[in-house]
């Protein structure tokens, strides 16, 4: 946050130069797509088998309701979590929420000026498993804002997973890991010259559950150094570019390298964003929608660092406000 422009464009240009890694990742991606296709075939086979079983059960049951049928109970929910997830006395949660910040999900590229911004996939998966085993469920920032502003429902232990800049490894390594848990991510994308190809971004925002697309400016400029015309272009312009290109709403913003001031916040509000994420540590709270804290995860954190950063933010939040239940 205070280091000189942690994830600037010098870093952005490093990954494409490493052709060997790019080829490796492309090959992995092709394998993954083949596996997905195979899984889709299996799913169809399983569905056909389930229908056959249901039919047989019904025929044998002589009109008695078949136990193979209750799947229809959740079929009208548009793929959202079933209402049965929530106890009957559930009340909307409006308290603070951890927002985790990641950059590239791969081992550090040799010679990188910012090796800490790489988290290998094995570490990432371990961190996700830890969250899952303790009852956390990932949601989008939009879902959190819905809960804060208009009574939207959140799971009992929500967490937001954000991925900055747009790296190929986020698609190759983070997407399949989150798919395993049926969790969405939030992609904080630069509108120009991202490492991540547009087709992959489109797949992420079209996934089930869909990733949220948030703006991370056009060129990853330090917004606190710009005049008002350039600031408008980076903040308002990037939103229009991303919405046009990917056909989804872009309602949240992420400050490059966590740099913001009052003029930047005013521009973000004027562009119509609902909220903006920083690199200030702690839990994000509804009190400060344009300066949402994040827990930044680095290469050296591993699982222990991940857990201690999260728990430090949670204990600070609960001792500060006393609103965490």
Question: Per CB under 5 A, which of residues 127..166 are in contact with Zn ion?
Answer: 164-165
Partners of 138 in beta bridges: 159
Q: Would you say 44 or 113 has its CB closer to Zn ion?
A: 113
Q: Is 7 near Zn ion (CB under 5 A)?
A: yes
CB of 35 to Zn ion, least distance (A): 31
Question: Per CB under 5 A, which of residues 254..293 are in contact with Zn ion?
Answer: 256
Q: Would you say 16 or 151 has its CB closer to Zn ion?
A: 16
User: How many residues of this chain bind Zn ion (CB under 5 A)?
Assistant: 4
Residue 284 DSSP one-character state: B
Contacts 24+ apart (CB under 8 A), 270-273: 270/235, 270/236, 271/232, 271/235, 271/236, 271/239, 272/239, 273/215, 273/235, 273/239
Q: Would you say 104 or 205 has its CB closer to Zn ion?
A: 104
Residue 256 DSSP one-character state: G
CB of 165 to Zn ion, least distance (A): 4
CB of 164 to Zn ion, least distance (A): 4
Report residue 98 as tokens.
């951890």
CB of 118 to Zn ion, least distance (A): 14
Q: Would you say 10 or 24 has its CB closer to Zn ion?
A: 10
Q: Would you say 164 or 301 has its CB closer to Zn ion?
A: 164
CB of 243 to Zn ion, least distance (A): 20
Q: Is 212 near Zn ion (CB under 5 A)?
A: no
CB of 34 to Zn ion, least distance (A): 32
Q: Which stretch binds Zn ion (CB under 5 A): 113-121, 253-261, 288-296, 310-318?
A: 253-261
Q: Which stretch binds Zn ion (CB under 5 A): 57-65, 140-148, 224-232, 248-256?
A: 248-256
**Distance between CA 235 and CA 263 in Å, rounded?**
12
Report residue 311 as tokens.
């728990």
Coil, strand or helix at 125? helix
Closest-CA residue to 84 (of 103, 100, 70): 70
Contact 318, 324 (CB under 8 A): yes
**Distance between CA 184 and CA 301 in Å, rounded?**
23
> Mask of contacts with Zn ion, 161-200, x by CB under 5 A?
---xx-----------------------------------
Q: Would you say 84 or 225 has its CB closer to Zn ion?
A: 225
**Distance between CA 130 and CA 136 in Å, rounded?**
9
Q: Which stretch binds Zn ion (CB under 5 A): 18-26, 115-123, 231-239, 252-260?
A: 252-260
- Kindly report the number of other CB atoms within 10 A of residue 36's CB atom: 12
Closest-CA residue to 112 (of 193, 190, 23, 15): 15
Q: Would you say 148 or 171 has its CB closer to Zn ion?
A: 171
Q: Say if strands 295-296 and 275-277 run parallel, antiparallel, or are unpaired.
A: unpaired
CB of 230 to Zn ion, least distance (A): 17
CA angle 121, 303, 275 (to 5 degrees): 75
- Closest residue to Zn ion using C-beta atoms: 7
Residues in touch with Zn ion (CB under 5 A) = 7, 164-165, 256
């Amino acid at each position: 946050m205070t280091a000189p422009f942690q994830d600037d464009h010098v870093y952005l240009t490093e990954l494409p130069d490493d052709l060997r890694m790019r080829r490796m990742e492309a090959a992995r991606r092709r394998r993954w797509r083949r596996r997905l296709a195979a899984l889709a075939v299996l799913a169809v086979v399983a569905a056909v088998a389930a229908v056959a079983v249901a039919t047989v059960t019904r025929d044998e049951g002589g009109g008695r309701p078949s136990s193979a049928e209750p799947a229809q109970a959740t079929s009208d929910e548009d793929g959202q979590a079933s209402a049965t997830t929530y106890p009957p006395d559930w009340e909307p949660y409006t308290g603070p929420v951890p927002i985790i910040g990641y950059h590239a999900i791969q081992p550090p590229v040799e010679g990188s000026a910012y090796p800490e911004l790489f988290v290998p996939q094995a570490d990432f998966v371990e961190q996700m498993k830890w969250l899952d085993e303790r009852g956390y469920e990932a949601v989008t920032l939009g879902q959190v804002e819905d809960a804060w502003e208009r009574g939207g429902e959140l799971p009992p232990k929500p967490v937001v997973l954000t991925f900055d800049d747009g790296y190929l490894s986020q698609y190759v390594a983070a997407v399949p890991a989150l798919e395993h848990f049926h969790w969405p991510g939030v992609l904080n994308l630069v509108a120009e010259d991202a490492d991540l190809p547009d087709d992959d971004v489109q797949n992420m925002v079209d996934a089930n559950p869909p990733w949220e697309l948030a703006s991370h400016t056009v060129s990853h400029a330090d917004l606190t150094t710009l005049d008002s015309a350039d600031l408008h272009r980076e903040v308002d312009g990037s939103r229009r570019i991303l919405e046009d290109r990917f056909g989804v709403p872009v309602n949240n913003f992420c400050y490059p390298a966590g740099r913001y001031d009052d003029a930047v916040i005013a521009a973000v509000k004027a562009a119509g964003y609902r909220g903006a994420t920083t690199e200030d540590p702690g839990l994000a709270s509804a009190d400060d929608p344009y300066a949402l804290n994040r827990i930044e995860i680095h290469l050296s954190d591993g699982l222990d660092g991940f857990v201690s950063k999260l728990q430090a933010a949670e204990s600070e939040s609960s001792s500060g406000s006393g609103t965490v239940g």
